[in-house]
Structure 1
Amino acid sequence: MTLRLSACLRLGAVAFAALTAVSVQAQTSLSMWYHGAGNPDEKKIITGIIDDFNKSQKDWKVSLQQFPQEAYNTSVVAAAVAGKLPDIMDVDGPIMPNWAWSKYLQPLDLPKGKLDNFLPGTIGKWNGKVYSVGLWDAAVAVFARKSVLEANKIRIPTLDKPWTKAEFDAALVTLQKSGKFQYPIDMGLAWKGEWYSYAFGPFLQSAGGNLLDPAAGKSNGVLNGPAGVAFGEWWKSLFTRKLTPGTSQSGAERDTGFLDGKYALQWNGNWAALPALKKYGKDLVFLPAPDFGKGPKIGAASWQFGVSATTKNAKGANAFIAFALQDKYLAAFSDAIGLIPSTPSAAAMTKNYAKGGPLEVFFELSKRQATLRPVSPGYALASNAFEKALSDIANGGDAADALDSAADAIDADLKKNNGYR
């Protein structure tokens, strides 16, 4: 009897192990690419979401591969050419239309109402369809010290009453005349690439211009129209009047200049807010973007998740993205890396963006001032052309000529690709 019972138990154990193995094998593997290699905080949260998802159901198992941000886009393009795109990938918001047009991505298929209450900048749309969604967004503000503004009799702007262009310019001149700072403002030209379109494109949009008009399929008359040239001339004056550091600014000066008191103001994002708060405490204020004539605007759309166009497992990829959009994960990202949660309910769960929190103002800035960069597959080239134009102008080039050259390059690309229709 004992031997028979022992044998039965062994057989049962073997059978159970076999069933478990079958169950594990039944999970279809989903590959996921992410741009955050080298950031341990991001990796911890992403892998936590993946582990939770894999344990929550028996159909799908996500496997993560991370890339350095600077190599990520080229890796995706190479994979697309080779027909080896992953099932799930993230994409920088303004680049998404190009990837959708290039057939790297397919529209998302999320449960109805899943994106209700998400900040507009976190939802990636092209041609009326949602292709991507972000677990966070970012916002830019003027970092300032209340004591400095008050000592120089400069009005502290609010979301309801931001500085006009004239007030902003006058504030910079006043701070320069105080003689207490190397520069009245740091615009951050040590940062290259997308920073130009993200940080300075909204100034152009506020002035009434833009990098291009997606509906009209052109840049000439938009980037280099009267509003664009007026903005370009003001931009040049920042450097000729020595109101801000130029393109030779080092990364270290960008990181520490405001904290060391060398710059009176700084144009920077919420990701840099906590060190400034630690340095200046309650004296620190985050001011809204100035109004250049068409309303104050800041950049919108950060990194977002999408489903590749070539995946055979779109159902599972969409299921993972829907799972990742839970408020607890949005809050976890915010607490770990300081970015803006995508929903008010997630913001309320965070230490920094909840009501009364030190970064609460950034949620409102994102909600009220955030403006998308041109939603066009041609944006990628347009962004590069805009960066070159602003850099050339900052280095002494003629504003109209630089913007004309950029507009011509953008229009040539649009024509070459039939307007990306």
Structure 2
Amino acid sequence: MTSGTGVPARTRVLHRTLLTGALTVVLLLAGCTGCDDGADHSGPPTPRTDTTCDGRIDGTAHLTMWYHAPSALGERDAVRAQVHAFNTSQKDVKVTLLDLPKGDYNAQVHAAAADGELPDLLDFDAPNLFSYAWAGDIRPIGSCLPDRVRADLLPSVLEQGTYRGELWGLGTFDSGLGLYIRPSVFEKAGVRIPRGPRDAWTATEFTGILKKLRKLGYDTPLDLNMQYADTEWGTYGFAPAVWSAGGDLIDRSTYRTADGALNGPEAVKALTTLQSWVKAGYVDANKDSGAFQEGRSPVSWTGHWWYRRYTEAFPGDVAIVALPDFGEGTVTGMGSWQWGVPAGSADGDAVWRFLAFLLSPGEVSRMTELNGAIPATRTAIARTELFGEGGPERLYIEQLEGGVARPRPQTPAYPAITRAFSAACGKIMKGAAVRPALDEAVRAIDKDLADHQYYPPTGP
């Protein structure tokens, strides 16, 4: 993938990354200049039939792809092995994995999009899909998805990849969130252990449990990964408490304001409860990220990515239970990295051929056995001991299939929402007054919405 000047695109991305802030603003405003018509654009979307795939591949297709800098050791090597396996398995499509310079991956995507130099395939963190789709950087891919593959995918994977009634992204794995506990400690404390989402502890019950664990000798019985509260973890980890209480990060009936949803009494109550645990000293500061493994906290509010390390620390003494019920039932998070087809990709059918390969049971297993994530297909799930029927991580499947999991707000405003909400979480966890912190977040979100004319629909 080379520009008309002969300069490699990945080199130009490095240069353009320095201008990311300005480019991002230009990119977002480009689709909405002069479109503040006062209409409510938030009604039920009208699905279109996309034409990304027509069932034909002309000649030998040569594709380029990007892959984000992974957090799990070896993920990129796994993708490289997948590309090699695919290229040697057939002759119709040849894929080249491009190396990107070190830096902010999302910034690199925005910069390349502004230059029209995205590859034929790229991955992105799921909540960013909505802004990419709105800006016209990626193409819908529903026309590429066979019914048999659609039926095999977890419903959460399809929901996460959908924006305004069309499918824009697909992941080969999903995520899970819950409470890791040490059953031996809870049995000693005489505390019941929930059997599933419908049996979750109430927030009030959980507060009492923390008191019992302290009496048992655990001064800081709860790990909230509080050291990351002002990052994306704050949104992924603590939005479920707001949702469980009946609040939200934005009014999803219109997607035009956060007022009344994020700073309403439900959200205030949920975050006040979380803050009360911190103020009572129940929450470990966890500066070494070892609160659970080192035995200081027998409860950890976190995701699937800790399962391997936690079970290595306490073999046979780790269980996963649903998050506390803050009033309207337990709710959990979902969504992880997904694949999408950039708008300028030459051959959607060729790209789909490779994506279909990545979604095959063996390739889904290759990746999820490495990174510990939840396989995206039921066929791959059935092959695992961890997530299959009776497996120790089966709760994650129950949550993703049973409507307990909820996607982060499906709006192009998500980057602004998560910045504002996670910043508020960081302040609240440090003792700031809850309602004023949420009011400030609402003002920031509503400003972004107004600045972009409430993100009216773009494209045909």
Taking structure 2 as the reference length, what is the TM-score of the superposition? Answer: 0.81
Return the match for 1:152 from 146, 164, 189: 189
The one-letter amino acid of 1:286's match is: I
Deviations, residues 91-114 of structure 1 (Å, cap 9, x unaligned): 111111011011111101323312
The one-letter amino acid of 2:65's match is: M
Instruction: Give the corresponding residue for 2:260.
Output: 221
- Partner of 2:315, secondary structure, is helix
Aligned partners of 1:137 and 1:342 also within 8 Å: yes
For 2:65 and 2:356, locate their aligned partners in 1 and report how far apart those are by CA, in whole Å. 14
Instruction: Give the corresponding residue for 2:241.
Output: 203
C-alpha spacing 1:166/1:67, structure 2 compared with 1 (3 Å)? farther
Return the match for 1:163 from 201, 206, 212: 201
Instruction: Give the corresponding residue for 1:87.
Output: 120
The one-letter amino acid of 1:242's match is: G
Instruction: Give the corresponding residue for 1:106.
Output: 139
Question: Does 2:154 correspond to 1:134?
Answer: no
Measured after TM superposition, the shift of residue 143 of structure 1 is 1.0
Question: Does 2:271 correspond to 1:238?
Answer: no
C-alpha spacing 1:398/1:68, structure 2 compared with 1 (3 Å)? farther
C-alpha spacing 1:54/1:77, structure 2 compared with 1 (3 Å)? same
Deviations, residues 357-384 of structure 1 (Å, cap 9, x unaligned): 3333332233332211111110111001
C-alpha spacing 1:222/1:89, structure 2 compared with 1 (3 Å)? same
Aligned partners of 2:67 and 2:76 also within 8 Å: no
Gaps (5+ residues) in structure 1?
1-24
Aligned partners of 1:223 and 1:403 also within 8 Å: yes
Taking structure 1 as the reference length, what is the TM-score of the superposition? Answer: 0.88
Gaps (5+ residues) in structure 2?
1-57
Aligned partners of 2:144 and 2:349 also within 8 Å: no
- Partner of 1:409, secondary structure, is helix
The one-letter amino acid of 1:331's match is: S
- Partner of 1:224, secondary structure, is coil
Question: Does 2:366 correspond to 1:332?
Answer: yes
For 2:71 and 2:258, locate their aligned partners in 1 and report how far apart those are by CA, in whole Å. 37
Instruction: Give the corresponding residue for 1:271.
Output: 305
For 1:145 and 1:241, locate their aligned partners in 2 and report how far apart those are by CA, in whole Å. 22
Range that drifts further, 396-405 or 108-117: 108-117
- Partner of 2:316, secondary structure, is helix
Instruction: Give the corresponding residue for 1:173.
Output: 211
Aligned partners of 1:141 and 1:288 also within 8 Å: yes
The one-letter amino acid of 1:181's match is: Y
- Partner of 1:132, secondary structure, is coil
Measured after TM superposition, the shift of residue 67 of structure 1 is 5.0
Q: Cα RMSD between the aligned structures?
A: 2.0
For 2:138 and 2:253, locate their aligned partners in 1 and report how far apart those are by CA, in whole Å. 22
For 2:382 and 2:188, locate their aligned partners in 1 and report how far apart those are by CA, in whole Å. 35
Aligned partners of 1:352 and 1:360 also within 8 Å: yes
Aligned partners of 2:319 and 2:392 also within 8 Å: no
Deviations, residues 154-183 of structure 1 (Å, cap 9, x unaligned): 1111213111111112111222233x2231
Bigger helix fraction: 1
- Partner of 2:98, secondary structure, is strand
Identity of aligned residues (%): 32
Range that drifts further, 93-102 or 108-117: 108-117
Aligned partners of 1:232 and 1:399 also within 8 Å: yes
Measured after TM superposition, the shift of residue 420 of structure 1 is 1.1
- Partner of 2:128, secondary structure, is helix
Return the match for 1:379 from 400, 403, 414: 414
For 2:213 and 2:422, locate their aligned partners in 1 and report how far apart those are by CA, in whole Å. 27
Instruction: Give the corresponding residue for 2:111.
Output: 78
Bigger strand fraction: 1
The one-letter amino acid of 2:226's match is: L
- Partner of 1:263, secondary structure, is coil
C-alpha spacing 1:68/1:232, structure 2 compared with 1 (3 Å)? farther
Aligned partners of 2:251 and 2:260 also within 8 Å: no
Question: Does 2:438 correspond to 1:403?
Answer: yes
Instruction: Give the corresponding residue for 2:328.
Output: 294
